[in-house]
Amino acid sequence: MKKYILSITVLMSLIQLFAKEPSAWLFSYMSPDKDNRGGLSYALSYNGKDWKSPSWKHRKFLDGGYAYKGQMKLLDPFVFQDAEKNWHVLWTAANINGYIGHSTTANRDNVVNWMRKSYPYFGIDSQITNPIAYTSRKGDSVVEFKTQDGDFYRTTTRDFKKFTPLKKISQRDYEASCAKLIKNIKLDSEELSGSINPLSEEQLEILKADGEWKKIASWDKVSQRSKDDESRFSGIEKLSVNVKADAKSKKKISDMLIGIFFEDLNYAADGGLYAELVQNRDFEYSNRDRWDLNPMSFWSVSGSAKHEVKTDSPIHENNKHYISLSLDKADSALVNYGYSDKENPPAKTLGIAVKKGQKYNFSCFVKGDIAKTDVVLADAKGMELAKASFNSSSKDWKKVEVALTSKDTSGDVSLKLVPLSKGEICFDMVSLFPQNTFKNRKNGLRADLAQTLAELSPKFVRFPGGCLVHAISGGEMNFYNWKDSVGALEARKPIPNCWGYHQTRGLGYYEFFLFCEDIGAEPLPVLAAGVGCQNPGQQAIDMKDMPQYTQDILDLIEWANGDPNTSKWAKLRADSGHPEPFNLKYIGIGNEDLISDQFEERFTMIYKAIKEKYPEIKVVGTSGPFAEGVDYREGWKVAKKLDIPLVDEHYYVAPGWFLYNQNYYDDYDRKGPKVYLGEYAAHIENRINNIETALSCAIHLANLERNGDVVEMSSYAPLLAKRNYTQWKPDLIYFDNSNVYPSTDYYVQKLFGQNSGDIYIPTTLELSEERDGLKERVICSVVCDSKSGDTIVKLINMLPFESEVNVDLSFIKGKKDVVKTVLSGDYSDQDAKPKESRTKLGGRFCEKLPPYSLTVLRFKK
């Protein structure tokens, strides 16, 4: 018996020995990143000698940027496994004294799925560099590092949260440890230095399948492009498809699926949707906005008058600068070309655009001893298109208003203020608005642009950003404080826009809410979660200031929904002209933030305060800038922990991503937080919109409809871009001072927005061919709109040939009037527009889908 037990023990040890034999070795090193943010990359070897990249070379498995307290980069990642086989990475935390960076993975088998970084502090007044670690005989993790002051330290830990007191060690000891732990390898003849760890079979498999990316399609599929479709599908001339609806399995879906996301980027607000025609009306432009801007930008003074920008006794402390002219004779004018750069040739945009017969409201604040001033609209040849006069003499600031009617249409007009006698005169808040704004609102929106947005039939509007809500400007937190964007225009606080220009905030919270009301969309304001944008390095509001910051957010809800008789904030709304509540239902907290401890602490505080005081408000959380990765996982973790109603996801991806990730939401937990896909777009080279980008998004939208029981809202991003003044492409709608140019992606959003439903009817598709990639490119989505009783069928054919589709919707009885809209073109077509026709169809019909097309059939009740 003893013998028997002994041989079992020997056998077990042998098994264990074999089990311990690594399947491969993992080399971990710092990604040689262009912008020097570093990051963690891997190489793999099956023999410990020859190394290759597990996916593509230098791919980052964990970003080294976006650290803590606004610091930019984490460097020198050192990866090791502790005694319990947990993975750790230690980093140099650059530009900050006393900290290191640390992260661990979700579980032991996974070297891909890194979790949120933490920043252990060691109380040393010097930057710590090159931390390394190994396991002691007792099973503790021993950490050693050096400092920029030339000292060397050792400490031990079990959990990387608590550490034993630092012990100074000699340089020799530290270097001896490094010699054992830091190795040099060659990857494609490139010399790299880093750490080497053995990988078990499971770990290797997970790494090879890209672990967390498992549900995301592989790169070779995602990178498929329409230009290769002819050869990809050569030999196929036509496809036959049978579509059968299963009305019994219908399900309720969100009736809020399609909305818009407005951010003042690409001159979307000032010079864009906001109808003000005078640029720098308040003389508040400054080099804080951009290095080349100043209070006189976009203004000039003709004639012999002397001018000065003054700040003493301004109209309001938020609006300090104004212009003072002093004239010895009446030969001068103050000139503004509007949102143009005529003053800075070669001009990319001409002057103010006016239309024949249209009326314009001029207003300004004035003071001085000149009795009368003319206001003139002149075209490029100096021809007066409109003229009026106003009494300009006043000891104190006074507001004057006159209306002008333009005699002609011109896109190259200047506004001139012409004092008619000698003396001194001061102007501020010089403004010119078309009377024809959207819904004729004063201080309103450009009618053509707002109408183009309204035609999307958005169910909600997210505003005012994006990065803009929690911007860092000039290294400082420059959050969009809603309180500074409401009330009298002259008292609003202009701020630098993080996209490199100036925000007047004439289009502020009040105007955003009015616009939502005007187009029947729910307002979705987004506020910073107490932390700044992660791109320049996350900064956070001091915890001692968080109660006030949280209160400001509660005040917004009060402003929007409160009773003016009892609430000071609601009274401000009423005084602006809206005594009725705006009926705010949603509020976004955070924008694709780094999900750090400081984020979670602040977000939780705000979330709990809103939940306690306004339980009816749906808070939208955030899950980082990508469809995977640390922030995505950690953001969802926070959302689930706090049971947040919705999570805002963002991803800008290749068109193929949408084709090969059609099941992305299929396994999302239907009982957990709902999804708001707040920013997405298909990006291709030169960042243009064309039929390829538009149809790939159409496919995604069809999948969002199919998952409309978990995806509650979505918005393409960004929305608006002024031609020649665009910081980010692609966008949904382009414009200049006179025209609007909707993109191909716009038409897709419009077709989905105008043809949304609240009930989804599943369909099955049978294709006459089985070649790889076909089924991902022929998609059908059927929804019913219970309000109108209409049924809508959307058919997408993203193939280079026609698809003949036999559709069986036998739940539709009898012939119905059908509105048919088709958007099609060559995959590279940037100008395609939808064509609408009318027909009659029954529940069974055959539809020939043109190559690269979206067909929408709306069956009238």
Q: Residue 411 in 3-state DSSP?
A: strand
Can you point out the beta strands (E) in 228-305?
239-245, 251-252, 260-261, 299-302
Looking at the Cβ atoms of 213 and 652, the one nearer to ligand AHR is: 652
Give the residue, chosen from 54, 70, 351, 465, that forms a contact with ligand AHR under the rule CB under 6 A.
465
CB 243 within 8 A of CB 797: no
User: By C-beta, is 62 or 265 nearer to ligand AHR?
Assistant: 265
Min CB(727)–ligand AHR separation in Å:
9
Asked if residue 263 binds ligand AHR (CB under 6 A), the reply is yes
Of the candidates 467, 541, 610, 774, which one interacts with ligand AHR according to CB under 6 A? 467
Gap between the Cα atoms of 618 and 628, Å rounded: 24
Residue 187 and residue 28: Cα distance in Å, rounded?
12
264-323: which residues touch ligand AHR (CB under 6 A)? 265
Parallel, antiparallel, or unpaired for β 853-859 and 816-824? antiparallel
Q: 82 vs 649, which CB is nearer to ligand AHR?
A: 649
* Contact criterion met (CB below 8 Å) for 844 and 807: yes
* Choice between 268 and 352, CB closer to ligand AHR: 268
Say which of 511, 592, 600, 776 is annotated catalytic. 592
Strands 167-168 and 183-187, sheet pairing:
unpaired
Cα(410)–Cα(385) distance, integer angstroms: 9
Residues 731-760 that bind ligand AHR (CB under 6 A): none
Shortest CB 679 distance to ligand AHR, Å: 5
- For tokens 């100043």, the residue is 294
Q: What DSSP element (H or E) covers 439?
A: none
Residues in region 622-641 near ligand AHR by CB under 6 A = 625
The interface region with ligand AHR, picked from 6-14, 45-53, 463-471, 488-496 by CB under 6 A, is: 463-471
By CB under 6 A, is residue 461 in contact with ligand AHR? no
The closest alpha carbon to 393, from 413, 414, 378, 373, belongs to 373
Q: Is residue 728 part of the contact set for ligand AHR (CB under 6 A)? A: yes
User: Is residue 804 among the annotated active site residues?
Assistant: no
Torsion of CA 677, 679, 681, 687, to 10 degrees: -170
Please name which of 376, 351, 508, 358 lies closest in space to residue 434, comparing C-alpha atoms. Answer: 358
As measured in angstroms, the least distance from the Cβ of 626 to ligand AHR is: 10
- Minimum distance between the CB of residue 678 and ligand AHR, rounded to whole angstroms? 8
Alpha carbon separation from 375 to 258, 335, 489, 761, 824 (Å, rounded):
44, 10, 21, 61, 49
Residue nearest ligand AHR by beta-carbon distance: 466
Q: Is 622 helix (H, G, I), strand (E, B) or coil?
A: strand
Q: Can you name the residues that pair with 185 across neighbouring β-strands?
A: 192
Among the residue ranges 5-13, 460-468, 615-623, 810-818, the one whose residues contact ligand AHR (CB under 6 A):
460-468
Q: Of the listed pieces 145-153, 208-216, 459-467, 654-662, which binds ligand AHR according to CB under 6 A?
A: 459-467
Among 194, 411, 466, 757, binds ligand AHR (CB under 6 A): 466
Which residue blocks in 562-712 are alpha helix, DSSP H? 568-575, 597-613, 630-642, 655-660, 691-706
- Which among 663, 698, 714 is positioned nearest to 855, based on CA atoms? 698
Total residues binding ligand AHR (CB under 6 A): 12
Among 64, 718, 730, 843, binds ligand AHR (CB under 6 A): 718
Smallest distance from ligand AHR to CB 728, Å: 5
Q: Among 646, 717, 795, 832, which residue sits at the site for ligand AHR (rule: CB under 6 A)?
A: 717
Secondary structure of 720-746 as H, E, C letters: EEECCCCCCCCCCEEECCCCEEECHHH
Shortest Å distance, C-beta 415 to ligand AHR? 32
CB 630 to ligand AHR: min, Å: 16
194 touching ligand AHR, by CB under 6 A: no
Question: Could you tell me which stretch among 181-189, 431-439, 461-469, 698-706 binds ligand AHR (CB under 6 A)?
Answer: 461-469
One residue of 511, 679, 736, 847 binding ligand AHR per CB under 6 A = 679
Out of 591, 763, 791, 855, the residue judged to bind ligand AHR by CB under 6 A: 591
In whole angstroms, the minimum distance from the beta carbon of 829 to ligand AHR comes to 24
Cβ 416 vs Cβ 375: under 8 Å = yes
592 binds ligand AHR (CB under 6 A): yes
- Phi and psi at residue 153, in whole multiples of 5°? -135, 160
Within 8 A by CB and 6+ apart from 346, the residues are: none
From the list 359-367, 465-473, 797-805, 828-836, the region that binds ligand AHR by CB under 6 A is 465-473
Coil, strand or helix: which one is 539?
A: coil
User: Binding pattern to ligand AHR, positions 478-517, x when CB under 6 A?
Assistant: ----------------------------------------
Q: Give the residue with the Cβ less far from ligand AHR, 264 or 374.
A: 264
Confirm if 656 and 218 have CB atoms less than 8 A apart. no
β 423-434/359-368 pair status = antiparallel
Token pair recorded at residue 611:
């939940």
Q: How far is the CB of 216 from ligand AHR (least distance, A)?
A: 19
Q: How many residues in total does the chain contain?
A: 861
Of residues 50 through 109, those in contact with ligand AHR by CB under 6 A are: none
Distance of CA 508 to the CA centre of its chain: 19
Residue with smaller CB distance to ligand AHR, 265 or 293? 265
Nearer residue to ligand AHR within complex by CB, 559 or 716? 716
3-state secondary structure of 519: helix
Write out the binding residues for ligand AHR, residues 775-834 only, by CB under 6 A. none
What residues are labeled active site? Answer: 592
By the criterion CB under 6 A, which residues form the site for ligand AHR?
263, 265, 465-467, 591-592, 625, 679, 717-718, 728
